[in-house]
A and B are shown apart, each in its own frame.
Chain A
Amino acid sequence: MKRYLAVALGILTAIGGFVDIGDLVTNAQVGARFGLSLGWIVVIGVLGICVFAEMSGRIAAVSHRATFDLVRERLGPRIGLLNLVGSMAVTLLTFIAEIGGVALALQLVTSIHHLAWVPLVAVLVWLVLWRAKFSAMENVLGLLGLTLIVFSVALWQLQPDWGDLGRQLALADKPAGEAWTTYAFFAVALFGAAMTPYEVFFFSSGGVEERWTVKDIPTMRANVLIGFPLGGLLSLSIAGAAAVVYGPLGISVETLGQVGLPVAVALGKVGLALAIVGFVAATFGAACETGLSAGYSLAQYAGWQWGKYVKPSVAGSFHASLVVFVLLAAGVLMTTVDPIMVTEMSVVFSAVALPLTYFPILVVANDPDYLGEHTNGRFANALGSGYLVLVVVASLAAIPLMVVTKMGTA
């Protein structure tokens, strides 16, 4: 019974923790502009993150070591450094966006400018990273993030033409007035948002923190293969609700307030309150995960002691790096940069950095020295290799598309 409860809790937190500021904003933007015609990208992205999260979870459970630890050892310090710089830059950009997202959510409730919230949110994130238990942080924020299910209820309440939404999803039916380059840009952004590198680092390092063993592999697989796809359904619901409310009016989504408004249209103040709780939980949870991921990556590469199960006095460099990251994020946001713009940049640059993250995982997952009998089978390798081609294409296309479409505004 206890085992089943653990599996259920893991799945629920995986659903609630799946969505972050990048998913919220990008899905709403795409839904308002393209309907569900890019929903297939969410499906492909969710399957991709499942493939690589399963690999990295298996690596952690069998080798008891985290991704960067093995990347440097297996591929050498030069490739390891390239991997570290690329992935950490994107993770820090996402960290900044998440802290900004929490501040924006609080602004919506209080109408106090988000810049006034940034220092407080930064301190709270640091306190959680410093003091809170890993499991408490993951479970509480993951479960609160489940309130985002209100988007699915809202979509149902809006009584859309399900046949039309289904047709858009199935036929990838690009709206007539949109250029293919813009369609491709948002496809890459959605793909980057769904396959954000930090999710894999956090998942793998979390497995080491929680001391997974081979016995935990089935539970880990259940969390990934059930929790993540259900989290992906939340993403589709956000896009669907935006498509139904904003599509006919020609409204484009540029703020977090606009992401939540379709819920108010469908369900009123109570629904909107749940959506805001979900915004805060999702962005705060993702801020903690990205902050830890950046700290994990650096510590694992540098060979420092790391983790929340280790006393801070023993992992001094790791905790010092977290302080620096929090200060950096708060400092960048206090320059008055728009957090939504940072979010848009973070999902595009996530796409750019994807090969740096996923290629080494595929290599390590095939190494019997680390995984013994648990190396990738043919199916996992076929999926992994296929996705590697996709992430390389997305990575190469991201910046040219960003320039040509002027961040999707052209």
Chain B
Amino acid sequence: MSAAGRGLLALLAVAVGLTTWTGCAVVDTPDESAWRDQARQSVEDASSEVQAARLVLVQLTADRVPQAYGVVMLADAEEAAGKVEESLAAVQAPAPVRRLSDDVTALLGRAVDAVRAARVAAVGDTEPAPIVRTDLADVQRQLDAMLGQL
């Protein structure tokens, strides 16, 4: 290989190394477009968990699913929703969308609370209170609306 070729290869190796190294930052600081992409994905994921919880509650109420099965599914939905919330909260939103970021984070928190309430109701072995289903439906509507803003 020629000297120029070796130099180019070394430059490439340094560039790859630097990119990898700087990509390992403790706090993720995306630009606005990248943050919106991440936020949209988080809201969609949370919406999936809320919808899953609603579906399980309907099946539990109709006695079409054993309680143990429903509880496991709701606990899984709660855990997944919690991870979605934590994941986005760890991202530093850029200044122009910081307020929107606060709204999204708060909404994701409400989604986790609503799914948790569903799980608590299912473990209690009583028919879930209508308020639990109403909360899930409300959060679902808010998540859909938030997707429109993102």
Chain A residues within 8 Å of B, Cβ to Cβ: 107-111, 245, 249-252, 254-255, 257-258, 260-261, 264-265, 268-269, 272, 409-410
Chain A interface, >50% SS class: helix
- Does B45 lie at the interface of the complex (its beta carbon under 8 Å from any beta carbon of A)? yes
For chain B, residues 71 to 88, give those with C-beta under 8 angstroms from any C-beta of chain A. Answer: 71-73, 76, 80
- Does B48 lie at the interface of the complex (its beta carbon under 8 Å from any beta carbon of A)? yes
Partner of A409, one of B41, B63, B68, B69: B41
Name the A residues within 8 Å of B11 (CB-CB): none
* Number of residues from B at the complex interface, CB < 8 A: 22
> Can you list 24 A-B contacts (CB < 8 A)?
A109-B66, A110-B68, A111-B68, A249-B51, A250-B47, A250-B48, A250-B51, A251-B55, A252-B45, A252-B48, A254-B76, A255-B73, A255-B76, A257-B69, A257-B72, A257-B73, A258-B52, A260-B69, A261-B56, A265-B64, A268-B63, A269-B64, A272-B64, A272-B69
- Does B29 lie at the interface of the complex (its beta carbon under 8 Å from any beta carbon of A)? no
CB B1 to nearest CB in A, in angstroms, measures: 26
Nearest residue (CB) in B for A271 is B64
Name the B residues within 8 Å of A257 (CB-CB): 69, 72-73, 76
- Does B59 lie at the interface of the complex (its beta carbon under 8 Å from any beta carbon of A)? yes
CA of A409 to CA of B48, assembled, Å: 13
Name the A residues within 8 Å of B68 (CB-CB): 108-111
CA of A194 to CA of B109, assembled, Å: 39
Name the A residues within 8 Å of B67 (CB-CB): 111
Name the A residues within 8 Å of B59 (CB-CB): 261, 264-265
* B72 in contact with A111 (CB, 8 Å): yes
CA of A251 to CA of B64, assembled, Å: 19
* B66 in contact with A269 (CB, 8 Å): yes
* B44 in contact with A250 (CB, 8 Å): yes
Knowing A109-B69, A249-B55, A257-B69, the reply to whether A268 touches B76 (Cβ < 8 A) is no
* A107 in contact with B72 (CB, 8 Å): yes
* B51 in contact with A251 (CB, 8 Å): yes
Name the A residues within 8 Å of B56 (CB-CB): 261
Name the A residues within 8 Å of B66 (CB-CB): 109, 269, 272
CA of A269 to CA of B68, assembled, Å: 12
CA of A380 to CA of B120, assembled, Å: 58
